[in-house]
Amino acid sequence: LGGFGALLRGRSATAARLVAASAGAAVATLLAVASLRFVLQERAGGGVLAYDIPRWFVQLAMPLGFGAIAVRQFWHAATGWGHRLGSLGLAAALGTAGAFAPTGIALAGLFAATLLGTPIFAALGGAALVLLFGSGSPAASIAIDHYSLVTNPALPAIPLFTLAGYFMAEGGASRRLVRLFQALSGWLRSGPAIATALICAFFTAFTGGSGVTVLALGGLLLPVLVAARLSDRDALGLITGAGSLGILLPPCLPVILYAIIAKVDINTMFLAGLLPGVLLIVLTAAWGVWAAHKRSDAGIVSGRPACQGRDFRNHHREPIPPLPGLAGPHHDSTPVSSRFDGLELCRALWAAKWELLLPVVALTTLFSGWATPVEAAAVTAGFAFFIEVVVHRDLHLWRDCPRVMTEAGLLIGGILLILGVALGLTNHLIHEGVPDALADWSLEHVRSRWLFLLGLNVILILIGSVVEIFAAIVVVVPLLVPIGQQLGIDPIHLGIIFLANMELGFLAPPFGLNLLLAASRLKRPIGEVARATLPLLAVMFLGVLLITYLPALTTWLPQLLSPPAS
């Protein structure tokens, strides 16, 4: 939503940045005060953790963290001290107005600030604060919910799997996997398109976010696809769309978070997502195959090579610069061969053998019963570290690993910040009976389960295009699950529907995350990226409809592999 503020220029942009930062600082300050009250109450209670560590001492990180965020918002509001002081006064006014203004007016003002660029955590946390103030409830409940979230026993699986994905993305895994899939299928006319779908799904499953995949692999795969006779437009659409693949596959983080929020078994969710995830990969690869054949056939009919015309190398007078960090120095184009080379395949397979073992290690530890999801995540992260630092030595232990762990920590810290305030908002809505009211309304006005699911698909795609996926899970899922139960929809099936639609939201114009990142990474206008992605978006929507209306795609594998009831 903050993209509206980015459209402004000159003084309007400066004013928008000042308002957005001031609103963010006001919310962060109020959250810091609420967290401090919670810590003081805990200190009075005298609770202790292991080794007699006072619980309040650990919880003190919340008010200190929110206070630091408020200071940072003030500092980045403007470059001059005059504007910063003005931001301080504006933040004080906004905070006071949010506490005492009518709920509707305060929420409208917060929404306007969000359009101008206020961070998503401030939008969700501010909404929670406004509703709590309006109902007379203590704001410290947000801090309580935040603390309960970060102390969830299953939560450490998220940062550990993220760290594993970062080790792979920051090392040379992308180069070795692209080489392998090129050797395996690059000699086919549509081989690179198939390889793109598989590689992107692999990376997204382990990094937990399609944005990392687009940033890390976009510059590497685009010239390969164009050299393989896809049009520049189709190659752009394929990379942008394929970046969202893998969200349904283990051990992707949104699946874990949905299981935690919806209170379902994590391994069951992983099993349920396998067939739908593979279906979307197959449909994406099939569209890439069609695009490659369409381009080649057009070239033959016109009597000229299909890769002439609006070629990538002619369209881009300057090469796409390497992205610092995410893919290292490995953005070299892998040549497209016109014939199968068995020796090159053996070499590429041997070079990528350790990367191919990573999903085996992750899935074996997850589904064998030998380890909990957190332990499986730790084993996977350790194995990824071993591959990139010890085996291939793409990452230096002292020079690169601290940077990689810091970047992964920043990502996870941002996610947990959003999740904590979102949970505070959600729990207040639950306390006020919003899910029950929605369920009653749905039963009264929507008699058909299939009609409900169709409308749900459209709404979730819209939500996914403007709301970060982790925040959407925490806020929306607790509202949907009771409705689904009233309509007889299995919560596992509902979860896969939810996540599949979030995938499509990444591609939905005008603010889908993958569209914005692909435009930035590949130096293209956002409109060009959106137009290039629309055909694949339509194909993937058909796949989501199949997932929605064929529950067996989701439920068959868990039923087959679940242990028999005693």
Q: Are 401 and 171 in contact (CB under 8 A)?
A: no
Q: What is the pLDDT of residues 357-372, one digit of tens each?
A: 888 888 888 777 788 8
- pLDDT for residue 211 is more than 70: no
Tell me the pLDDT band of 99, cut-offs 50, 70 and 90: confident
- pLDDT for residue 83 is more than 70: no
Average pLDDT in the chain: 81
| Residue the block writes with tokens 């040549």 | 335
- pLDDT for residue 207 is more than 70: yes
Tell me the pLDDT band of 315, cut-offs 50, 70 and 90: very low
- Within a domain: residue 102? yes
- Within a domain: residue 38? yes
Closest C-alpha to 471, from 148, 103, 125: 125
- Within a domain: residue 29? yes
- Within a domain: residue 12? yes
pLDDT at 35: 92
The total number of residues written for the chain in this structure: 566
How many angstroms separate the Cα of 210 from the Cα of each of 73, 198, 217? 27, 13, 11
Residue type, 456: L
pLDDT at 508: 86
Q: What is the pLDDT of residues 104-114, one digit of tens each?
A: 888 888 888 88
CA distance 396 to 171: 10
Q: Are 387 and 358 in contact (CB under 8 A)?
A: yes
- pLDDT for residue 208 is more than 80: no
- pLDDT for residue 257 is more than 70: yes
- Within a domain: residue 130? yes
- Within a domain: residue 63? yes
pLDDT at 327: 44
Long-range contacts for 343-351 (Cβ within 8 Å, ≥24 apart)? 344/183, 345/180, 345/183, 345/184, 347/183, 348/176, 348/179, 348/180, 348/182, 348/183, 348/184, 349/180, 349/183, 351/176, 351/179, 351/180
Q: What is the pLDDT of residues 1-43, one digit of tens each?
A: 555 656 667 677 777 788 888 888 889 999 999 999 999 988 8
The tally of domains found in the chain comes to 1
CA distance 335 to 356: 22
pLDDT at 298: 55
Q: What is the chain's Cα-based Rg?
A: 24
Which residues sit opposite 48 in a β-bridge? Answer: 54
Q: Are 394 and 329 in contact (CB under 8 A)?
A: no
Report yes or no on whether pTM surpasses 0.85.
no
Q: Any idea which of 215-219, 347-351, 465-469 has the lowest mean pLDDT?
A: 215-219
37: containing domain: 3-150
Q: Are 276 and 549 in contact (CB under 8 A)?
A: no
Q: Are 70 and 32 in contact (CB under 8 A)?
A: yes
* Cα-Cα-Cα-Cα dihedral sign, residues 300, 302, 305, 311: negative
Q: 243: alpha, beta or left, given left = phi > 0 and alpha = psi -120 to 50?
A: alpha
- pLDDT for residue 523 is more than 70: yes
- Within a domain: residue 18? yes
Q: HSE on the CB side for 451, CA within 13 Å?
A: 6
Q: Is 242 helix (H, G, I), strand (E, B) or coil?
A: helix
Structure tokens at 430: 């639950």
Structure tokens at 79: 């470059």
- Within a domain: residue 519? no
Q: Looking at residues 447-470, what average pLDDT do you find?
A: 84
b vs e for 174-194, b when ≥16 Cβ sit within 10 Å of the residue's Cβ? bbbbbbbbbbbbbbbbbbbbb
Q: Looking at residues 144-151, what average pLDDT do you find?
A: 86
Q: Any idea which of 90-99, 501-510, 527-536, 554-563 has the lowest mean pLDDT?
A: 90-99
CA 301 to chain centroid, in Å, comes to 42
pLDDT at 308: 39
Q: What is the pLDDT of residues 268-312, one digit of tens each?
A: 999 999 999 999 999 999 998 888 877 655 554 333 344 433 343
- pLDDT for residue 514 is more than 90: no
pLDDT at 321: 47
DSSP state of 101: S
